[in-house]
Structures are given as structure tokens and as C-alpha cells.
Chain A
């Protein structure tokens, strides 16, 4: 049954991934990440994604702070943050976040404050969604590894 459990977890994982792909939350870059994970860095994906979340949160905080400064919104600085956000998001395959970033940047280039605020909310929403989903994914992964790990001694 443990084997079956691990297998089921793997199916769950794939289903979740498929959903995220289908929704456009992730793209194939995420698969690249998974391919990079090997014995020398078994937790590569989660490691990178965690770094990403960590960095993203800082960026989101900064962006919000910039936008909330009513007198003077530093759109240029905003653009810099957004470029970085775009870069890292696309690097992990967070497609929707990246798309929102593009819209955000466009708004910031036009000094469109309302547009920026809207984009920021979308960004935060997307961010949370992605974070939750990936978190879920990693949890399943952990369980699967656990299940698979339990299996080994039994097989041996």
C-alpha cells in the first residue's frame, strides 16, 4: 500500500502541475528547474523557489512602499524592481506573475498610478496563489519522497 501511496502522490503532483500549467501559472521553465535537480542538489527546486519567494516578498514590499508614497512615486525605481521581479519570475517559470509584471511595468512607465496599484494587487494575488500551489506541490513531493523512502527498505 505504501508503494501505491507514493504512486498516488506522484499522480497528484503531476495533476497539480498540469493544472498550474493549464492555468498559465507556470510554464516549461519550471520543468527546466526540475531537470536541474539531481543527486548533487536533491532539493534544488524547492531551494530555488524558496529563495524566489524570499526575494519576491522583499520586492513586493518595496513596490508597495513606492506606490503608497503619494507625493512622489519613484516610477523609475519601480521599474527596476519590476525588471528584477520579471527576471526571477521567468527564471522559475512563474509565467503569470511575469505577465502581471509586464503590465505593471507598462503602467509604471506611463506613471499610471492607478494602473500600478491595480497591477500590484494582481501581483500580490498571483504571488500568493503561486506560493500556495507550489507549497502544496512541495508538500506532496515531500510525502512522496517519504513514501518512496519508506519503500526502499522494504524492497531491499
Chain B
């Protein structure tokens, strides 16, 4: 705390004298007594018997008062409400007082950010000392300036992420290595310790450090409630973090909303955000190497210029713990997909496009209502997944690109290395996270990539595509998968081939809405990943006979391994999957995955529904891996999958 003092605002010699205190209490005798006491202590006192009046006074004379003393029980407004408002609007130290000494009430006061809680009867001795709250605040403000921006989203964003060690709270964890995180945490703890050591009992509301974990909790709470319905109190309850006050949450929520708003605004203006956002993430495939997966969701208001397509770079196995970075464009709000920490995909290429990055903390579910305007994107072919349900995206080795056209859903599975995949499957079945190095899957933007979803048993990616938990695929359906080669912004364009691949899956894809056969166009889009690896799509019509492999299928999981194997002879290197995909829990996230050669980490996607919209197409994945057709397709690409249906396509 010594450090705080040196920054203290110069204190007048007669400092406590004349301190301007506003006393609010509906209890007149008490008000009178406290007034008199404060006078005795040489404070300048203003009294008020109504909270609403007090609030008006405070608003009219902003900056006039140094301190507020408020009763808890007041008829016109709860003292805590006043406390919250004062804290939010003027950031004044507020001391609560009440004749009610029940612990729960005192705790409420603390949680709401009261810097002190006085039990009536209040004694002069207690009031003599209240100037310290003002002094502490002043010291504190000075101190906070030192750490400018540490709590400010905007500042942080402006600064970019150059100081990678301080990931912006929005991007927290996205690009931060666990190491630096830890480091940062430690320093924070020291700070906090300082404060606490100083004066634990009377310390002002401690500055809340919105750590990654805390922010994730916050976001998950917000998602749970819905961004529009989220109120500090409920969020606080959901978060259930000791020491966190409603005021803290309210303040954070405000900033969060601002941030979302700002993001969407930026997205509208320009498909791409200044590279400063993305800077740190840029081309490094290595970002994920630290074991962190970044998920970035971009909330775009509707339109994403094709140029802003972000490729997700997923690094799999080698980095078991990662965050998925999904650039998601979402109109109203950006939602973050929750990823289990251990399972993540990192996107690298996004940086190049300069899209705003959203980090999706794990276990966060968000609702994206995404509207991708098809017009702009028509040629680019976005695949966006909006999942209304929780989606824990665990990136498995398996990546499925799904595109639906004309009532035909296309699903593309990209995989390399068959054997590895099998191994992985086994691992997956075990739910073991075994990273298998060197798998690169690239999905073209027109494709939706679905990370494997453990609960749903849907695995996209190398080899596994469990569609339904029941593993029901309509048997004997011929599927033509067309991969659309989007004209992606990625420098190397994929040559769009539309080979027709027919896959017979008996018993699989059973639930497809209406059509047992799905024709999808594969466009062999060879995209060069950052790695500089040119991917070649071999357009070969391959037939998958799932039946053989059904035996291998773990109950509740339909695995397309066989088909995979069948095609295995045909090695397709789809190295880039660009997909606008939303993966989120209960959220629809339009996002694009670019998967580079990295193996996809095995992930569990707990998503109950995934909706993907490609160019206005919606694909809904239900936990059962069902696709619902909900799309209108002005664009040929629209397709709906009935929720009960699962479509998985392997691209080989």
C-alpha cells in the first residue's frame, strides 16, 4: 500500500475537515443524530430523507460530494439500489448503515460495493473515521491510472493486443499463454494482497480483476440469461463468485455491452478490423502451440464482406488444450462459444483478415442470431452455423464441412491420415485427448465445419462423423456432396471442382429431412494454408459404404470411419477448411474455420443444436446431430436438415 500512497493526491492539511457528506435515511431521528455527529466531526453535511431525492441531488451536483452515507431500508428505494446507482454513476464511496445487523444483509452491502457497513446505533467514533474511505479512493484512483486500461475494454482494444500478456478482457485467454496468464494473475494477487493487507475491514470495494476465468463465468452467465435479459443481479447469482458485487457485475456488463455494440458497429463499417486487433494472432500457427485454443467469435452486423472471411486455423492434437477462435459475425451480439479448455482450436488466419476477434471462453453458451447476408457473400459462400443450443465445441480431429444446397445438404468431412484417424477415434471413444500431430484440415468457407461433438456423438473431422446419437443415418441413401469452392479471400484460391461423390450410407443419414439422398457438390478448393501448403482436393467420386464400419461404431456414435477408409485410398488433402461456422453452445455462431495442417484437437461439442446458415441457408444441428431445414434459400446453397437427421460427409 505504500506504493499507493506515493501516488496519493495531495491531501489538504485539514483534509477530513469539510468533507462533503450526503446522508440519506428515512429515519428522521437517526438522520438528525448522524447529522449532528458528522458536524461534530467537522464534516459538511447534507441530509436527505428520501433515496430518490438523494439521487437527484447527487446527479445535479456531481462531484460535489465526497461520500455518501445511506440507510439500507428506505421506502422509496432500496439502499442497495441507491448504492448501485451511485457506484455506477458517480463512483463515490458509499457507506451503508442499518439497524439490521443480520449477516446476510451486511454481506449484500459488501457485494453491492459498499465500502463500509455501519450497524446502528452509529457512534461518533465510527463516523470520525469515514474520511479514510475518501482518502483511499483517491489513492486508489491514482493507482488505477497507473494501470490504465487494465479494466477498460475500449482502451485495451485500442491498444491492440500488442501487450499480449494483457489480453484484453474480451480476448482474454485467446492469445494468452497460460504462462503469461499465470504471471498476470500473480501480479494481480499481489495487488489485491496489498489492498487487503492495508485494511481488510474497511477497505474500499476492491477492484475486481476480470480474469479470464471470471470473465468466462460472466459471459456464460450472460449467455445463459440472454444478452438482453441479463441483469447484474442474476448474473451475479449465476456466477456465484464470492466477493464479487453486483456493482462490479453491472459495471462489467455495461462495458461488455458497449463492447458488443462497438464490435458490431465496426463490423458493419468494415469487414475487417484494423489489424491491431488481430495482430498477435496473425499468421502464427504456433499460437496454439502453447496449448491454448483461441476461439474468436466475431459479431458482425449481418454482412461480412468476403474479404473478411476468416479462416480458422485449428490445431489439433498437438495442442490438446486450446481455444477455438471463431470469427463470428453476429448482428446483435457477439456470443462466445464455450470450449472446454482442454479442447480448442486456434485460428490463425483470422488475423490476416483483420477481423475483430472474440474470444470464446469455454463453457460459455451464447445465442447467436446470425444473419449472414447472402448477397454479399453469395459467391464467397459462407457457411455459418448458428447453434441455438449450447455447443461446447471441442475440436476433434474430425472436421466436417457442411454445406447445403437446394435441399441437398452437403457435408464434407476432411481428413488425412486414415490410420491416425482411427487411432484418434479410438481415443475419442475413450474420450481421451490424444493429440495426433500433423493433421491439417482445411475447409473452404462455403463449408461448415463442425467440430466433433461428444455429446451428440457427432464428430467432424478426420474420420468420425457421428451424426445421431443413435447413429442413425438413413441407409442406402446416395449423397452427392458438392463442396463449393468459395472464392475465398484466401490468397490461394481453391479450384472449385464439383465432383460428385456418392456415398451410400446405409442406416446413416436416415433422418435427413425428406431426402434420403443428398447431393452435395464438392468443390475441391485447394487453399493454401498459412503453412504454405497447397492443399489439393482430389475430386473423386467416392462411395462410402458405412455398413461395413457400422460395426466399428460405438453405440450412440455413428462413425463414418468406413467411409473414410474407403476413401482413404484417395488421399485428399483438404488443408483449408474455411467455413463460416458458428459453434457455440446454444448459440449460432457464424464462423469460419480455417484448419491448417494441424490436427484438430479432440473436442467434445456439447451442442444441442447447431444451425448453420450458408448464404442464408440454415443448417441446424441438434444434439442428436440433426439438421433442421429452416433455411430459405434465395441462394442455391440453402438447405435444411431435419433435426433428426445427421449428415456427415467425409471428403476424401
Contact = CB atoms under 8 A, between A and B. Distances in A.
B29 interface: yes
Given A51-B28, A89-B99, 16 more contacts: A32-B37, A36-B40, A47-B32, A52-B29, A54-B28, A55-B29, A80-B73, A83-B98, A87-B25, A87-B30, A87-B71, A87-B99, A88-B30, A91-B30, A92-B33, A92-B121
A36 B30 CA distance: 13
B275 interface: no
A87 B27 CA distance: 8
Contacts of B28: 51, 54-55, 88
A36 B124 contact: yes
B123 A32 contact: yes
A32 B73 contact: no
Interface of B: 25-30, 32-34, 36-37, 39-40, 71, 73, 75, 98-100, 120-124
A88 B123 contact: no
Contact of A91 (B26, B29, B124): B29
Contact of B120 (A38, A47, A80, A91): A91
**B contacts with A: majority SS:** mixed
B75 A80 contact: yes
B29 A48 contact: yes
8 contacts: A32-B121, A80-B73, A83-B98, A86-B100, A87-B73, A87-B99, A88-B27, A88-B99
A99 interface: no
Contact of B122 (A38, A48, A91): A91
Contacts of A54: 28
A44 interface: yes
B124 A35 contact: yes
Given A51-B32, A55-B27, A87 B124 contact: no
Contact of B33 (A40, A86, A91): A91
A103 to B, nearest CB: 14
Contacts of A155: none
A38 B39 CA distance: 11
**A contacts with B: majority SS:** helix
Contacts of A33: 33
A47 B31 CA distance: 12
B99 A51 contact: no
A90 B99 contact: yes
A29 interface: yes
Given A29-B123, A36-B124, A83-B98, A88 B73 contact: no
A52 B27 CA distance: 9
Contact of B29 (A32, A80, A88): A88
A55 B26 CA distance: 10
A110 to B, nearest CB: 15
Contacts of A87: 25, 27, 30, 71, 73, 98-100, 120
Contact of A29 (B25, B27, B121): B121
A18 B98 CA distance: 28
Most buried by B among A40, A48, A91: A91
Interface string A49-74: 10110110000000000000000000
Given A55-B29, A83-B73, A90 B36 contact: no
Contacts of B40: 36, 38
Given A36-B40, A51-B32, A80-B75, A93 B98 contact: no
A84 B37 CA distance: 19
A47 B36 CA distance: 12
Contacts of A89: 99
A41 interface: yes
B32 A48 contact: yes
Contacts of B124: 32, 35-36
A44 B29 contact: no
B202 to A, nearest CB: 21
Nearest to A41: B36
Q: Which 9 residue pairs spanning A and B have beta carbons closest together?
A: A87-B99, A86-B99, A52-B29, A29-B121, A90-B121, A91-B30, A51-B29, A36-B36, A87-B120
A48 B28 CA distance: 9
Nearest to B125: A32
Given A90-B99, A91-B27, A84 B73 contact: yes
Nearest to A40: B39
Contacts of A90: 99, 120-121
Nearest to B124: A32
Most buried by A among B26, B29, B40: B29
A38 B42 CA distance: 14
Most buried by B among A29, A32, A47: A32
A76 to B, nearest CB: 12
B98 A44 contact: no
A83 B33 CA distance: 17
